[in-house]
């Protein structure tokens, strides 16, 4: 759907005074590109009319943009002796055409930066372009002259055809690599081996029948076209691996007619294949750079002006319609591969020749491919002037895109081109020369799409195909190319056609209007036509388009051929005018510049205003205002009233595809402007006139809707950027670009147009086929607009069509939708649609209370409208709630059962469809209505043998017991217990068993509270608690149930000894029984280290002082033990229990101190090692990994020693890859391992610090115990006092050692000595590990606070016990 648009046109003329003298015929004959100097080299030939044996060749240089004045590089003379004539062998033709140029090849060698000129006389001349005064040097000469020459694409090889019918292959230094005959007899190395498969005799020939299988062309049927110039043609494939040669074979004994033959050679000049004989094949030749097609032309029918006798023997042309002229294609193996017919009409009368040189009134001079293989140029020489046609292909159809006419010569003679050549690097730049002019035209791909806005957006697209415009409105239909909805044939009146060559020309540009489907068509010579397409927007019968011509004619202010009109755009319709367009032209003068002509239509009169622009090669921007973009990216607003242009914006670079949009605002303020542009470098820019930002660097197309900028990328993704978001981010250029919504598209897709009203985006694939998609952003935008407008019916239909969750109707504006439920039900009145909406609502993500509210509102409204009609929808509203309200739905059926039995029958079937039949049966059963149960069971097609016996059994029971059985069957245990409690008093035991079975104790207590059965229920509850070993709760319940015996047992088990002995005393137990209980309880308390309480029990209830003191000493309560001894006057217990107990406790403290000292020293030494390693080997310590290795199998699946890749247990190695399918349990186990302090892991240091902190807590506890013990040791024997002294020394020494260790450990290293602070690669396998991964380089000192050593309250001033010990 793309067309070729003329972007730039430039022209430079060489006057006669610059390169010729009087009496000489002069002409430009060849051009070459010099990429080192960005220049174009031009060769001219001067011939003396009196002496034609010598010609003067002048080499000129001009800028590659063909600007400025040409400068002469050098000139030299060359002989004009003609090369050997290709017709001389057995033909009647004598010499080549006199107008043929002497220069066969003009080429710049980049390695040596020299120009190589090859002439027909056989001279090979080089010119060193780097010299200050370049001069020509003949480096060699070819005997017999040169008939054709071609350089390989890599400039390393040269193919020459000599006048002696030899094929030479030479290097860039002109060393001959190969020499062979021009017309070999063999087929080539790729000669097919015929075994019958796929041969002509076995192929299907369609309507031609079997006769075609045995038919073959006789030698007399294959001839050459009379338009053949007789010259050899050579063409290389784009990769330089092969080249092809087209040569005219002369008549011989086996060949009655001269004819063209194509041969394909390898890079080493080895013949590969010879093309099949093609009658009427002509001289032109070009190999497509991509390599798949070789192009030539073929004539069909009879030759005009040929005698009848000669015509009877055959014309030698192809069999077909007279005048038919095809462009034909060959494959590398020489076989034909398609064709298309040229659209030239022969001006000759039937059977008569127009001229000797041009029998049909025209002939094809040359063909050529653009460097990207997308455009084929066909140079046609007509009687009234030359034209160049540009053809492109898409979907197996060839489109005639552009036509270039040669400028008319002075005196009105027909214009002629002397060379036509594509630029070798700039794919769409075409270089043409006439005798005096060098013309350069640059094209670009463009899509002519409708700009109309909703609700009248038609999505129309126009494609230029010769003198026809192919029109398709994509809002109505998607017609695959090359077909179209409407073919608009263009026919200019003769007075509007260009004077020479006289023809119906091809338009150069087209554009659509903003407000309606108006189409403007522009011709390069300044003619404009405006059509009203009258596009049908909606469905219906009749024509989808019925164009009406509104105006046709020239519009220029001044006449003359110096302007090249190349672009037309519609602007906003000004008041008082039917339409207004802006036309861009380039004036070919010495100071070339662009000119904008603003053409306005008022009635039947045209008003034109021309405004000059600062420079040339700009482009009009798609805008309602007249905007022009300069080659440097500056945007100018053109004012036709003042005839001036003022800058309004600046893009970073020139963007051929540019658009201007206004962003609508809800507050009604002036909408901001956005200038959007896509450059040839695939960069998409946006600007608001002050700031510009680059949205993408890989964009290949874009379009603008009222709310979105839609663009595709070379990553095969379509992105949707809201215009309001773009306006916002331009106000904050420092903020990063947001993530736009995306959609994957087919590889190579480009945007054709967008149709907002149908929420569609039309894409074209590289082959040419179309695809219409409905992207979610466009659909959601239209949905929101419809919902805001209250068009719920259209929004609902769009959701169904595009598979959008129907919850969006509610989520967009919830309260507005709830208020508009009556309107929604009026527009969506179909029962099935309402059910679909309710079902989607129930299964959607909306909150439960909101779903219930909406369902209730809809149900109420439907009941008000028509209960009978919408009974299914009302049932759906009950069922889709969360949880479903099945009972309400069945209750509705019960209400309608008597009045509308038929309706209820259908409704029951429907609700069974919505809900599982078994669940519905249970719900009906739970309503205790057997008629409803039977109705559901019957319509659910349940087997009566399954439910009738059960129902009969239930009917035989009394009221409450029947309900109990039903609730128990439905597993409604609490409700069943309630009904069972109401059944009868004799069923109490059954109720208690039911309570115990289903653990309904709380509900049972609430039922029987305040009755005579309450204590029995509590007793049962207490037994259950006792069995669960919840002794404390059981003791409380037993006391409430008035069961003191059980309460005492439970209290003893719970070690609630106060309550136990309270009950024991109240029960008046004997002293022996109390002692027995006291000893048991004390033993249990001591085992729980509740020694003080055990001593109290032994003293109060067992009256056993000795055992009480033993318990206190075991708990290190020495002061209390001594108080009890003195109180009860049991001094013997001091030596028996207290003294040995104190020494035993001191020994225990000593063991703890020794253990802590050993642990401290080991951990401090380990910490020192780790910190040295952290500084000296940080990579080994932290395990810094190379992220490039994450996708490499660095380990096998066998067990190995831990390495830097496995030390964290989550390294992305082969082991972790192969074991990635871990369960959640194993992952949690792995998390617990991380940070556990396993030796060699990164968190070992943190673990050691925490261990030292715990050691400080432990020594603080030991100090507290020592503070309790020391005073007593000092008051006992000398041995005790000695132990007290040694204990103080040990405590003091260990405290000092621990304090020094803490200061050393928690001392921070100097800056720069810590390990690397860079974050690790974020590719851990579990999300829960991310926090650990981020924190693993944090210094452990920041994680573990420095502990505080307790104050030494155990220190006492001790007497000197050393002398007493010595005395002892």
Q: Residue 264's closest CA among 159, 373, 374?
A: 159
Q: How far is CA 990 from CA 284, 345, 959, 976, 1021, in A?
A: 109, 110, 17, 12, 15
What are all long-range contacts of 904-913, with beta carbons under 8 Å and residues at least 24 apart?
904/935, 905/939, 906/872, 907/871, 907/872, 907/875, 908/935, 908/936, 908/939, 909/939, 910/872, 910/875, 911/875, 911/879, 912/936, 912/939, 912/940
Q: What's residue 987's pLDDT?
A: 85
Instruction: Tell me the mean pLDDT in the region 757-763.
Output: 93
Q: What's residue 1316's pLDDT?
A: 41
Question: Per residue in 449-478, pLDDT tens?
Answer: 998 888 889 999 999 999 999 999 999 999
Q: Which sign does the torsion angle of CA 1073, 1074, 1079, 1085 carry?
A: positive
DSSP notation for 433-452: E-SSEEEEEEEEEE-EE---
Q: How far is CA 576 from the centre of its chain?
A: 47
Question: Per residue in 482-502, pLDDT tens?
Answer: 999 999 999 888 888 887 777
Q: Residue 761's closest CA among 783, 780, 741, 776?
A: 776
Bond into 501 cis (ω within 30) = yes
Where would I find the H helices in 987-1138? 988-998, 1001-1008, 1014-1027, 1031-1040, 1044-1054, 1057-1066, 1071-1087, 1091-1097, 1105-1114, 1118-1127, 1132-1133
CA distance linking residue 416 with residue 384, whole number of Å? 9
Q: Binning pLDDT at 50, 70 and 90, where does residue 657 land?
A: very high
Question: Per residue in 580-628, pLDDT tens?
Answer: 999 999 887 766 788 999 998 877 788 889 999 988 889 999 999 999 9
Q: Which residues lie across from 468 on neighbouring strands?
A: 465, 489
Q: Which sign does the torsion angle of CA 1007, 1010, 1013, 1014 carry?
A: positive
According to the per-residue pLDDT averaged within each range, which of 48-62, 158-172, 877-891 is highest?
158-172
Q: Which residues lie across from 4 on neighbouring strands?
A: 445
Question: Per residue in 14-32, pLDDT tens?
Answer: 865 455 444 466 889 999 9
Q: Whole-number mean pLDDT of the chain?
A: 83
**Other Cβ atoms within 10 Å of 1126 Cβ, number:** 11
CA distance linking residue 627 with residue 645, whole number of Å? 9
CA distance linking residue 1184 with residue 1180, whole number of Å? 7
What are all long-range contacts of 333-336, with beta carbons under 8 Å and residues at least 24 apart?
333/190, 333/192, 333/264, 333/273, 334/262, 334/264, 334/273, 334/274, 334/275, 334/276, 335/275, 335/276, 336/276, 336/278
Question: Per residue in 822-859, pLDDT tens?
Answer: 999 999 999 999 999 999 998 889 999 999 999 999 99
According to the per-residue pLDDT averaged within each range, which of 59-63, 77-81, 600-604 is highest?
59-63
CA distance linking residue 873 with residue 862, whole number of Å? 8
Contacts of residue 421, Cβ cutoff 8 Å, sequence gap at least 6: 31, 368, 430, 431, 432
CA dihedral of residues 612, 614, 618, 623 (deg, nearest 10): -60
Q: What's residue 201's pLDDT?
A: 60
- Contact (CB, 8 A) for 658 and 699: no
Q: What's residue 86's pLDDT?
A: 40
10 Å CB burial of residue 113 (0-12, 13-18, 19+) is middle
pTM, rounded to two decimals: 0.75
CA distance linking residue 583 with residue 640, whole number of Å? 12
Q: Which residue has the tokens 């020794």?
A: 1154
- Contact (CB, 8 A) for 1286 and 1293: no
CA distance linking residue 1072 with residue 1052, whole number of Å? 17
- Contact (CB, 8 A) for 69 and 13: no
Q: Is the pLDDT of residue 1067 over 80?
A: yes
**Residues, the chain, total?**
1368
Q: Is the pLDDT of residue 1205 over 80?
A: no
Instruction: Tell me the mean pLDDT in the region 757-782.
Output: 92
Count how many Cα atoms sit within 13 Å of the Cα of residue 289 in the half-sphere of its side chain: 17
Q: Which sign does the torsion angle of CA 1156, 1162, 1168, 1173 carry?
A: negative
Percent of the chain with pLDDT over 90: 39
- Contact (CB, 8 A) for 903 and 865: no
């Amino acid at each position: 759907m793309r067309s070729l648009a003329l972007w730039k046109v430039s022209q430079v003329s060489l006057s006669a005074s610059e390169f010729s003298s009087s009496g000489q015929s002069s002409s430009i004959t060849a051009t070459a590109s010099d990429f080192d100097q960005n220049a174009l080299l031009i060769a001219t030939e001067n011939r003396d009319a009196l002496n034609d044996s010598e010609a003067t060749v002048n080499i000129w240089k001009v800028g590659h943009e063909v600007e400025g004045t040409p400068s002469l590089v050098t000139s030299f003379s060359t002989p004009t002796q003609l090369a050997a004539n290709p017709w001389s062998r057995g033909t009647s033709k004598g010499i080549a055409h006199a107008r043929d140029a002497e220069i066969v090849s003009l080429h710049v060698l980049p390695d040596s930066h020299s120009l190589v000129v090859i002439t027909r006389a056989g001279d090979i001349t080089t010119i060193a372009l780097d010299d200050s005064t370049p001069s020509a040097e003949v480096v060699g000469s070819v005997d017999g002259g040169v008939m054709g020459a071609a350089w390989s694409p890599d400039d390393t090889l040269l193919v020459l055809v000599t006048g002696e019918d030899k094929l030479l292959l030479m290097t860039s230094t002109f060393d001959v690599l190969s020499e062979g005959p021009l017309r070999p007899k063999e087929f080539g190395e790729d000669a097919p081996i015929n075994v019958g498969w796929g041969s002509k005799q076995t192929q299907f020939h369609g309507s031609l029948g079997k006769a075609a299988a045995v038919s073959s062309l006789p030698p007399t049927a294959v001839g050459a076209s009379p338009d053949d110039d007789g010259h050899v043609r050579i063409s290389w494939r784009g990769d330089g691996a092969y080249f092809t040669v087209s040569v005219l074979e002369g008549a011989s004994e086996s060949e009655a007619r001269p004819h063209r033959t194509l041969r394909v050679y390898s890079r080493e000049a080895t013949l590969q294949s010879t093309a099949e004989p093609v009658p009427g094949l002509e001289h032109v030749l070009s190999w497509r750079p991509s390599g798949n097609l070789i192009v030539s032309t073929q004539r069909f029918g009879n030759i005009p002006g040929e005698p009848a006798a000669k015509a009877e023997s055959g014309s030698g042309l192809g069999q077909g319609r007279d005048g038919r002229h095809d462009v034909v294609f060959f494959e590398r193996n020489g076989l034909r591969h398609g064709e298309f017919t040229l659209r030239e009409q022969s001006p000759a009368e039937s059977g008569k020749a127009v001229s000797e040189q041009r029998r049909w009134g025209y002939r094809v001079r040359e063909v050529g491919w653009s460097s990207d293989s997308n455009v084929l140029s066909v140079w046609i020489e007509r009687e009234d002037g030359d034209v160049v046609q540009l053809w492109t292909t898409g979907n197996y159809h060839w489109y005639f895109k552009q036509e270039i006419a040669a400028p008319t010569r002075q005196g009105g003679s027909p214009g002629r081109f002397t060379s036509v050549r594509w630029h070798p690097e700039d794919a769409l730049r075409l270089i043409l020369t006439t005798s005096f002019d060098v013309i350069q035209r640059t094209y670009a791909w463009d899509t002519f799409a409708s700009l109309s806005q909703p609700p009248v957006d038609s999505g129309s697209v126009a494609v230029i195909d010769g003198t026809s415009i192919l029109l398709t409105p994509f809002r109505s239909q998607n017609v695959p190319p090359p077909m179209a909805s409407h073919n608009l044939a263009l026919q200019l009146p003769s007075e509007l056609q260009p004077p020479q060559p006289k023809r119906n020309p091809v338009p150069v540009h087209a554009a659509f209007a903003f407000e309606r489907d108006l189409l403007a068509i522009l011709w390069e010579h300044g003619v404009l036509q405006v059509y009203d397409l009258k596009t049908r927007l909606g469905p219906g019968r009749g024509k989808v388009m019925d164009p009406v011509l509104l105006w046709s004619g020239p519009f220029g202010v001044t006449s003359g051929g110096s302007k090249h009109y190349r672009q037309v755009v519609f602007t906003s319709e000004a008041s008082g005018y039917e339409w207004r367009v802006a036309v861009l032209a380039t004036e070919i003068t010495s100071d070339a510049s662009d000119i904008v002509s603003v053409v306005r239509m008022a009635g039947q009169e045209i008003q034109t205003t021309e405004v000059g622009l600062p420079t040339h090669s700009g482009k009009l921007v798609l805008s309602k205002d007249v905007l022009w973009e300069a080659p440097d990216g500056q945007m100018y607003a053109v004012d036709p009233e003042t005839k001036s242009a003022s800058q309004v914006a600046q893009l970073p670079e020139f963007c051929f595809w540019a658009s201007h949009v206004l962003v609508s605002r809800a507050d009604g303020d002036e909408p901001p402007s956005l200038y959007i542009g896509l450059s040839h470098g695939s960069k998409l820019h946006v600007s608001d006139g002050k700031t510009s930002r680059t949205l993408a660097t890989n964009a290949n197309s874009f379009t603008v809707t009222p709310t979105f900028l839609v663009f595709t990328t070379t990553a095969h993704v379509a992105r949707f950027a809201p215009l309001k978001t773009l306006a916002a981010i331009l106000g904050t250029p420092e903020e990063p670009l947001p993530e736009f919504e995306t959609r994957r598209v087919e590889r190579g897709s480009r945007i054709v147009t967008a149709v907002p009203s149908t929420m569609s985006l039309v894409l074209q694939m590289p082959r040419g086929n179309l695809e219409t998609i409905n992207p979610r952003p466009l659909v959601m935008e239209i949905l929101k607009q419809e919902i805001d407008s209250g068009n719920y019916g259209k929004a609902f239909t769009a959701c169904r069509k595009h598979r959008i969750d129907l919850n969006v109707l509610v989520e967009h504006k919830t309260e507005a939708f709830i208020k508009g439920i009556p309107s929604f039900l009026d527009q969506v009145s179909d029962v099935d649609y309402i059910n679909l909406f309710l079902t989607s609502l129930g299964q959607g993500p909306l909150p439960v209370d909101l779903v219930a509210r909406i369902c209730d509102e809809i149900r109420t409204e439907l009941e008000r409208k028509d209960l009978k009609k919408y009974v299914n929808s009302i049932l759906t509203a009950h069922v889709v709630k969360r949880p479903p309200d099945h009972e309400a739905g069945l209750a509705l059926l019960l209400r309608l059962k008597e009045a509308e039995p038929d309706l209820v029958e259908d409704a029951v079937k429907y609700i069974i469809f919505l809900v599982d039949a078994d669940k519905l049966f249970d719900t009906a059963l739970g309503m205790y209505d057997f008629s409803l149960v039977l109705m559901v069971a019957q319509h659910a097609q349940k087997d009566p043998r399954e439910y009738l016996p059960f129902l009969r059994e239930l009917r035989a029971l009394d009221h409450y017991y029947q309900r109990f059985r039903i609730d128990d069957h439905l597993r409604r245990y609490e409700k069943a217990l309630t009904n069972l409690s109401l059944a009868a008093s004799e069923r109490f035991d059954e109720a208690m068993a039911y309570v115990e079975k289903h653990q309904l104790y709380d509900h049972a207590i609430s039922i029987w509270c305040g009755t005579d059965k309450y204590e029995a229920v509590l007793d049962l509850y207490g037994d259950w608690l006792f069995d669960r070993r919840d002794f404390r709760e059981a003791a409380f319940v037993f006391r409430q149930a008035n069961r003191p015996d059980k309460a005492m047992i439970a209290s003893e088990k719970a070690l609630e000894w106060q309550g136990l002995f309270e009950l024991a005393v109240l029960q008046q137990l004997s002293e022996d029984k109390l002692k027995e209980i006291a000893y048991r309880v004390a033993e249990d308390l001591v085992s729980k280290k509740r020694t003080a309480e055990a001593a109290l029990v032994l003293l109060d209830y067992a009256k056993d002082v000795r055992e009480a003191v033993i318990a206190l000493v075991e708990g290190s309560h020495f002061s209390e033990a001594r108080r009890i001894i003195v109180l009860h006057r049991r001094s013997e217990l001091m030596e028996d229990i207290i003294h040995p107990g104190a020494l035993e406790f001191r020994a225990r403290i000593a063991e703890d101190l020794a253990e802590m000292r050993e642990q401290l020293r080991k951990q401090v030494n380990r910490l020192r090692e780790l910190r040295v390693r952290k500084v000296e080997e940080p990579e080994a310590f932290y395990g810094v990994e190379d992220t490039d290795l994450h996708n490499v199998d660095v380990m096998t699946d066998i067990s190995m020693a831990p390495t830097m890749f496995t030390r964290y247990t989550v390294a992305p190695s082969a082991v972790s890859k192969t074991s990635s399918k871990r369960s959640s349990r194993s992952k949690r186990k792995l998390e617990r391992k991380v940070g556990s302090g396993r030796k060699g892991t990164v968190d070992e240091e943190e673990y050691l610090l925490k261990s030292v902190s715990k050691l400080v807590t432990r020594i603080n506890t030991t100090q507290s115990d020592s503070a309790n013990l020391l005073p007593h040791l000092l008051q006992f024997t000398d041995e005790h006092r000695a132990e007290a002294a040694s204990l103080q020394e040990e405590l003091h020494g260990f405290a000092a050692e621990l304090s020094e260790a803490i200061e050393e450990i928690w001392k921070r290293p100097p800056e720069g000595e810590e390990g690397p602070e860079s974050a690790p690669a974020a590719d851990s396998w579990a999300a829960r590990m991310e926090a650990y991964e981020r924190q693993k380089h944090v210094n452990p000192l920041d994680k573990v606070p420095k502990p505080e050593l307790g104050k030494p309250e155990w220190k006492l001033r001790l007497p000197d016990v050393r002398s007493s010990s010595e005395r002892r």
